[in-house]
Amino acid sequence: MIGLPAFRPDLTDYHDCINTIEGAVQRFSALELEKLNQDYGQAGASVLTNEKYQKTAHGQAMASLPLFTVRPLEMDTPPAPFAKSVDEPSQCLQGLRVIELCRVIAGPTIGKCLAAHGASVLKITSSQVPDVPFFQLDVNTGKHTTSLHLKNADDVNTFESLLKTADVIIDGYRPGVIANLGYRPEDLVSKATQRGKGLVYVIEDCFGGTEMGAEWASRPGWQQIADCITGVAWEQGRFMGLNEPVVPPFPMSDYGTGCVGTIAALSGIYRRATQGGSWICRTSLSQYNLFLLSLGTYPTEVQDQLRREHDRHFFALRHNDSVDEVSQRALCSIKYLYPKLFAKHSMQSMYSEAFSGVVTWPKEPLKVDGIKIGHVRPTRPNGYDKPTWEDWEGDETLLDI
C-alpha cells in the first residue's frame, strides 16, 4: 500500500526496519493515507489528541454512549434460570453454553472470564483467518477451541447444530462480518424464540457507535488504533515528557474492554434469567478508552514519583517504537519494582497437552462467597478440539488451589 515489498529478509536491524517503514509513510499526507486505508481495507488511523477526537463527528456521537449498553431484543421467551444441581453448585455459570466468535485479545477475554465462572466456552475460528498464536496461550484458558469456516456448507451445518443449544454468542469481529455470513443478532434471536429460550448476544469492536451509525463505526481496528484515535497515546507521550504520542505498554485497553464486556455479558445473562427475553450487549475499545480518560490523570506529584522510580530506558521510547519494544521495556521495569505481582502464590500452573508443556497463568483475583471462580481446563491453540458440546474434560480440583 505504501510502496514497500512484502518481505525484506535483508532488514534485520530494529532501527533499520523503523527507518524504512517511516520513510515510506512520510511520503504521504494524513489524508492520502486515510484514502489508501479505505481503498485497501487497512486498519490504520491518524493519531489524535482527545480534544481533537471530541470535535470529530465520531467523537461527538460517542460522547453520549455509556461504557457499555444492554438492551432487550425480544421479551417473548420465558426466564431461563441458572442451572441447579443436586450437589452444591461450585460455579455460577455451570450449564451455560457460550460460542465465542473472536480473535486476539478483547473478545476472547470475555470468553475466558465467563469460563472462569463455569460456562462452557467454545471458541470458533477459521483456519483461513490469521490470529496471533502468542496471545492464545492466555486467552484460550478454560475453553475448548475448534475450527469452522462459515463459507463451507458442511461447517455451516455443524455451526447451526451448535447454535441450537447456545446461551451466549460473543462477536468480536468488525461490525457486519458475522452478519454478512447470515448471522445477524436479529436472525439468531428469531431462532432462539422458536426454540423457546432467549439468547444473549455480546458485541465488542474497536470504534464503537454501530447502533448510532457513528462515522467510523464500521472501520477495522484493534487496541493501538483505539488508543491513537481517542487520545490515550498522546497522554502516554505527555507523561513521558514528549510532545508526541507513544502507544501505551501492554494490551491494557484490550483486557480492560474484555472485563467491561464480561460485565455486560453477565448483566444480559442475569436479565435473561430473571426477566426472560433475549439481550444484546455492546462495548468497544474506544468506549473503554473514553471512560479511562474521563477519570483524569494522576496528580503531578504521583507522575513525578513514577518517572523517578521507573527505568530511564523506558522513557527513551518514541512514537515510532514497536508495541513489542514498548512492552518489553515496561515489563522489565515493573518486574524490578513490583516482584510480588509475579510471585508463585499468585499463579496457577497446569500441563497443557495441546502445547506440550506446563502453562502458568495468574489466579483469578475475584472472590465471591458461596461459589468458586477459576478455570478447570488448561489453554490450547485455536482449532484444537472437535466442534461439539459433549465429553469436555475438566479438573475441578484446580478450583481449590
Question: What's the helix, strand, coil split of the chain in %, to 5?
Answer: 45, 10, 45
Q: Is 239 exposed, middle or buried (0-12, 13-18, 19+ CB in 10 A)?
A: middle
DSSP code per residue over 229-278? HHTHHHHHHHHTT-SS--PPSSSHHHHHHHHHHHHHHHHHHHHHHHH-SE
**CB within 8 A of 267, min separation 6: which ones?**
68, 70, 279, 281
**CB within 8 A of 60, min separation 6: which ones?**
54
Residue from 296, 295, 297, 289 nearest 65 by CA: 289
2, 25 Cβ separation under 8 angstroms = yes
**Residue 297: phi, psi to the nearest 5?**
-90, 165
3-state class of 94 per DSSP?
coil
Residue from 30, 2, 38 nearest 218 by CA: 38
3-state class of 350 per DSSP?
strand
Give pLDDT, residue 131: 85
Give pLDDT, residue 85: 62
Query: In Å, how far are 102, 118, 149 from 375, measured between CA atoms?
Result: 19, 8, 28
Q: How far apart are CA 19 and CA 25, in angstroms?
A: 10
Q: How far apart are CA 97 and CA 196, in angstroms?
A: 16
Topology annotation, domain 69-210+253-289+350-400: Rossmann fold (3.40.50)
pLDDT in tens, the chain (401 residues): 999 999 999 999 999 999 999 999 999 999 999 999 999 988 999 999 999 999 999 999 999 999 999 999 999 999 999 877 656 668 999 999 999 999 899 999 999 999 999 999 999 999 888 888 889 999 999 999 999 999 999 999 999 999 999 999 999 999 999 999 999 999 999 999 999 999 999 999 999 999 999 999 999 999 999 999 999 999 999 999 999 999 999 999 999 999 999 999 999 999 999 999 999 999 999 999 999 999 999 999 999 999 999 999 999 999 999 999 999 999 999 999 999 999 998 898 999 999 999 999 988 888 888 889 999 999 999 999 999 999 999 988 888 77
Give pLDDT, residue 172: 95
Residue from 108, 157, 101 nearest 129 by CA: 101
Query: In Å, how far are 270, 312, 397 from 199, measured between CA atoms?
Result: 12, 51, 31
Q: How far apart are CA 160 and CA 169, in angstroms?
A: 13
Give pLDDT, residue 88: 62
Instruction: Specify the pTM.
Output: 0.95
Give pLDDT, residue 129: 86
